[in-house]
């Protein structure tokens, strides 16, 4: 099981606020903390003093702290890639290289005596990770994480995200990506319009972003890029991340029957393996609920994303649950009992045959 993470930016906040946020995130099972030194001005002692207190507190909660740095910062702080004691003294579990070296240095860093992790940038699409692997790093100490993007429209395209992720999956390295909180107000930089890795996630709810990441596969850990997410967001993210199966949000029809509610919301659903282009079938509901009544109603034309249940006229298919993958006519044997929420309709493309899912009722 992967880990959930939050971000804190001590130079832009207070220790009391960071401490309260760490407590809240810990309560919902968050294990990672991301922070950045990229905006730091000052000498080593000043940097250590400002960061050590919240880092120590996160460590006391059993959380791992990753610190974002780049080669220029090494020079500014008088730190060398072959001596990571500065980060050990800070209490960091690892360093994230926003910009890297040549490959040999990163590999050497993974062989440090302190067990400090080295997390490298996953978003470039180059042979960077292949180069590092050619220098025999300690793979247990080499991680990958995607960038986040504070400017709207600058986030990663989905195909590029998948391409980059697969490069790291090939070596079985731990991977991480960022999602965006809508209640958070700041990141490490002066300007921020959300802090997601994927551009298509920028305006989605945090739980929908997490569901998509899990359905995509290839990403182990998920971190909220901006601070501070609300308790409601932390809870929703935790539930989505730790759920055994994705809960797809649907808007039920206004006249849905009690029996149809039982079929949708009190039954396990599984995508039948012999897939069709037109419908995603959850067939066992017709077995479990064969003795229930399903009178015909809302037998209107069917559109992609509609939630369907076979009615009394559908013979052996009475009570079967389906999701429409394409628009279709309705011959009167199928009740349209709801529709996937607009914000999650795209998730239909990522539900795989034989996988399980549940439905979650929402208003819109």
If 0-12 CB within 10 Å is exposed, 13-18 middle and 19+ buried, where does residue 217 land?
A: exposed
Q: Are 65 and 93 in contact (CB under 8 A)?
A: yes
Tokens representing residue 225 in the block: 């890029």
> In the predicted model, is pLDDT for residue 39 greater than 80?
no
Q: Coil, strand, or helix at residue 354?
A: coil
pLDDT tens track for 244-292: 999 999 999 999 999 999 999 999 999 999 999 999 999 999 999 999 9
pLDDT attached to residue 268: 92
Average pLDDT over residues 16-31: 98
Q: pTM for this structure?
A: 0.96
Average pLDDT over residues 75-79: 84
Q: Are 281 and 309 in contact (CB under 8 A)?
A: no
pLDDT tens track for 115-125: 999 999 999 99
* Pure H helices in the chain: 15-27, 44-60, 71-77, 85-90, 104-110, 128-133, 158-169, 206-216, 231-242, 258-265, 285-288
248-361 adopts what CATH topology? Answer: Cyclophilin (2.40.100)
pLDDT attached to residue 139: 97
Q: Give the N- to C-terminal CA distance of the chain in Å, as an integer.
A: 31
Beta partners for 36? Answer: 68
pLDDT attached to residue 141: 98
**Interatomic CA distance for residues 178 and 347, integer angstroms:** 18
pLDDT attached to residue 119: 98
**Interatomic CA distance for residues 129 and 122, integer angstroms:** 8
> In the predicted model, is pLDDT for residue 73 greater than 90?
no
**Interatomic CA distance for residues 59 and 53, integer angstroms:** 10
Q: What phi and psi values does residue 23 have, to the nearest 5 degrees?
A: -60, -45
> In the predicted model, is pLDDT for residue 42 greater than 90?
no
pLDDT attached to residue 324: 98
pLDDT attached to residue 184: 98
Rounded mean pLDDT of the chain? 96
Name the helix (H) or strand (E) containing 248. strand 247-252
pLDDT attached to residue 292: 98
Q: How confident is the model at residue 40 (pLDDT cuts 50, 70, 90)?
A: confident
Q: Domain locations in the chain?
A: 4-243, 248-361
pLDDT attached to residue 44: 74
**Interatomic CA distance for residues 69 and 35, integer angstroms:** 9
Q: How confident is the model at residue 99 (pLDDT cuts 50, 70, 90)?
A: confident
Average pLDDT over residues 196-218: 98
Q: Are 350 and 335 in contact (CB under 8 A)?
A: no
**Interatomic CA distance for residues 79 and 107, integer angstroms:** 17
> In the predicted model, is pLDDT for residue 50 greater than 90?
no
**Interatomic CA distance for residues 220 and 3, integer angstroms:** 7
Could you tell me the CATH superfamily of domain 4-243?
Aldolase class I (3.20.20.70)
Average pLDDT over residues 325-350: 98
């Amino acid at each position: 099981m992967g880990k959930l993470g939050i971000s804190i930016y001590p130079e832009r906040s207070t220790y009391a606020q960071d401490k309260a946020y760490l407590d809240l995130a810990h309560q919902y099972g968050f294990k990672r903390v991301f922070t950045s030194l990229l905006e730091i001005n000052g000498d080593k002692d000043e940097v250590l003093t400002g960061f050590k207190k919240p880092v120590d507190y996160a460590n006391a909660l059993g959380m791992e702290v990753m610190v974002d740095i780049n080669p220029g910062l090494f020079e500014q702080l008088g730190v060398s890639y072959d001596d990571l004691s500065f980060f050990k003294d800070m209490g960091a579990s690892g360093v994230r290289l926003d910009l890297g070296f040549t490959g040999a240095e990163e590999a050497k860093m993974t062989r440090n005596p302190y067990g400090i992790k080295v997390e490298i940038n996953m978003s470039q699409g180059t042979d960077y990770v292949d180069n590092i692997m050619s220098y025999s790093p300690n793979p247990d100490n080499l991680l990958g994480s995607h960038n986040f993007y504070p400017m709207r429209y600058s986030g990663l395209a989905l195909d590029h995200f998948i391409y980059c992720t697969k490069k790291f999956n090939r070596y079985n390295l731990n991977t991480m990506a960022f999602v965006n909180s809508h209640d958070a107000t700041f990141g490490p930089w002066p300007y921020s319009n959300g802090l997601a890795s994927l551009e298509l996630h920028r305006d989605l709810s945090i739980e929908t972003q997490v569901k998509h990441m899990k359905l995509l596969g290839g990403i182990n850990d998920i971190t909220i890029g901006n601070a501070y997410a609300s308790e409601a967001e932390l809870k929703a993210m935790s539930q989505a991340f730790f759920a055994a199966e994705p809960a797809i949000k649907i808007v039920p029809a206004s006249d849905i029957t009690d029996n149809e509610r039982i079929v949708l919301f009190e039954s396990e659903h599984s995508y039948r393996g012999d897939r069709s282009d037109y419908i995603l079938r959850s067939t066992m509901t017709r077995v479990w609920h064969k003795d229930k009544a399903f009178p015909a109603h809302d037998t209107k034309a069917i559109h992609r994303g509609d939630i369907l249940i076979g009615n009394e006229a559908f013979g052996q298919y009475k009570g079967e649950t389906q999701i429409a993958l394409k628009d279709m006519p309705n011959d009167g044997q199928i009740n349209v009992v709801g529709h996937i929420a607009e914000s999650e309709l795209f998730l239909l493309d990522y539900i795989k045959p034989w996988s399980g899912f549940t439905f979650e009722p929402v208003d819109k």
